[in-house]
């Protein structure tokens, strides 16, 4: 198993290199003027287009520009993000904890709810519950997150006022969070608020998390529900389940211990994908709810053609993909003892 983990970790630099090269080739399809436009914020600055191209070296050949980027990246300098007005590394360091926080709060209910509802749907095949959950699954997978997010925001915040609006805290708590005495131990605001003993702030952060978490849960758990239902239906008709029933095992033991456990294998893969999607930035959800994670930042960066930011984010994504894929593969061994990594 150790060899397997070492091999996977050794893949990370190769994946990063290949990804960065591919991205650079794509970015280089744009003309120097198009790339320089990323530095322009006003019509007046447009008059300086030529100077920007020259001063930024955007007219230099591909190997020189890529070589410069690679050289500084190897030395730990990922460049400066004009979107956040900070070095790329600092921006990711500042924003990644928020994304992890959102991913954790959303990820756990996504998986548990998806598995539970999928099982429930399969066990009640063609009954009302099943029909209802199938409609939910179709809606969840087909609803764009920006539509769902805005509808929730307008309804639960704008019309009913049941939940707080965009951002992480209300104005009064924002004073507390921005106060220099408030310590940002982890960068995850709900955790930091608790560690600072600011329970009102922590409660406010959790309330602000409800709508983004709900959006993500509806969308992602629908996928898991569909796959879980299909797998359960397949395993429930398999020989070993029939045998278990013939041996006199109760419904609960057969369904949960025998059938569900075997149906979980594809869910492990799907959970890995979900985690990658959440951690690599739920761009739309973070943008709609003004959640200060990496997704919100990279969404703006891509629109502004902020090349260092996009490249830096790609490297971060590469690490996330490899690490989560490795963890997913390792977890197979736990779920299915036949899987070994020697």
Under the rule (CB under 8 A), what is the footprint of another protein? 31, 33-37, 39-49, 51-52, 54-55, 80, 82-87, 94-95, 98, 150, 153-154, 157-158, 161-168, 170-172, 174-175, 177-180, 203-204, 206-207, 210, 287-290, 292, 296-297, 299-300
Shortest Å, Cβ 100 to another protein: 14
Nearer to another protein by Cβ, of 43 and 239: the residue is: 43
Nearer to another protein by Cβ, of 104 and 230: the residue is: 104
Backbone angles phi, psi at 87, to 5 degrees: -60, 145
With CA atoms as reference, report the closest residue to 102 among 55, 44, 168, 37. Answer: 168
Nearer to another protein by Cβ, of 191 and 206: the residue is: 206
Nearer to another protein by Cβ, of 13 and 165: the residue is: 165
Check: CB of residue 244 under 8 Å from CB of residue 254.
yes
Nearer to another protein by Cβ, of 87 and 109: the residue is: 87
Shortest Å, Cβ 339 to another protein: 35
User: Helices (H) and strands (E) in the chain — how many of each?
Assistant: 17, 2
With CA atoms as reference, report the closest residue to 302 among 286, 321, 279, 283. Answer: 283
Shortest Å, Cβ 180 to another protein: 6
Q: Name 33's Cβ contacts closer than 8 Å, sequence gap at least 6.
A: 49, 53
Shortest Å, Cβ 285 to another protein: 11
Shortest Å, Cβ 247 to another protein: 30
- In whole angstroms, give the CA distance from residue 193 to residue 181: 12
Looking at residue 38, the DSSP 8-state letter turns out to be G
């Amino acid at each position: 198993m150790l060899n397997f983990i070492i091999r996977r970790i050794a893949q990370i630099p190769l994946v990063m290199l290949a990804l960065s090269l591919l991205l650079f080739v794509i970015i280089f399809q744009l003309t120097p003027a198009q790339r320089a436009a990323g530095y322009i914020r006003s019509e007046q600055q447009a008059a300086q287009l030529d100077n920007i191209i020259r001063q930024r070296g955007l007219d230099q050949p591909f190997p020189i520009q890529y070589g410069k980027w690679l050289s500084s990246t190897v030395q730990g300098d990922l460049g400066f993000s004009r979107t956040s007005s900070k070095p790329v590394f600092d921006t990711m360091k500042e924003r990644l904890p928020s994304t992890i926080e959102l991913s954790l709060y959303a990820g756990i209910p996504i998986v548990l709810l998806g598995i539970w509802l999928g099982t429930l749907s399969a066990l009640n095949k063609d009954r009302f519950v099943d029909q209802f959950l199938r409609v939910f699954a179709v809606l969840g997978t087909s609803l764009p997150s920006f539509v769902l997010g805005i509808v929730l925001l307008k309804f639960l915040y704008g019309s009913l006022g049941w939940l707080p609006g965009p951002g992480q805290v209300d104005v009064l708590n924002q004073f507390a969070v921005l106060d220099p005495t408030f310590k940002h131990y982890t960068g995850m605001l709900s955790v930091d608020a608790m560690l600072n003993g600011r329970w009102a702030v922590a409660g406010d952060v959790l309330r602000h998390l409800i709508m983004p978490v709900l959006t993500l849960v509806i969308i992602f758990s629908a996928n898991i529900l569909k796959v879980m239902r299909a797998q359960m239906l397949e395993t429930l008709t398999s020989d070993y389940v029939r045998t278990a029933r013939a041996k006199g095992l109760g419904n609960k033991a057969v369904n949960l211990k025998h059938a569900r456990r075997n149906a979980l294998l594809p869910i492990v893969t799907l959970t890995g994908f979900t985690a990658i999607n959440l951690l690599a930035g739920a761009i739309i959800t973070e943008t709609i709810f003004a959640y200060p994670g990496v997704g919100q930042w990279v969404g703006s960066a891509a629109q502004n053609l902020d090349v260092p930011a996009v490249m830096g984010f790609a490297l971060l994504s590469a690490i996330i993909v490899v690490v989560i894929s490795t963890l997913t593969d390792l977890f197979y061994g736990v779920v299915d003892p036949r899987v070994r990594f020697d």
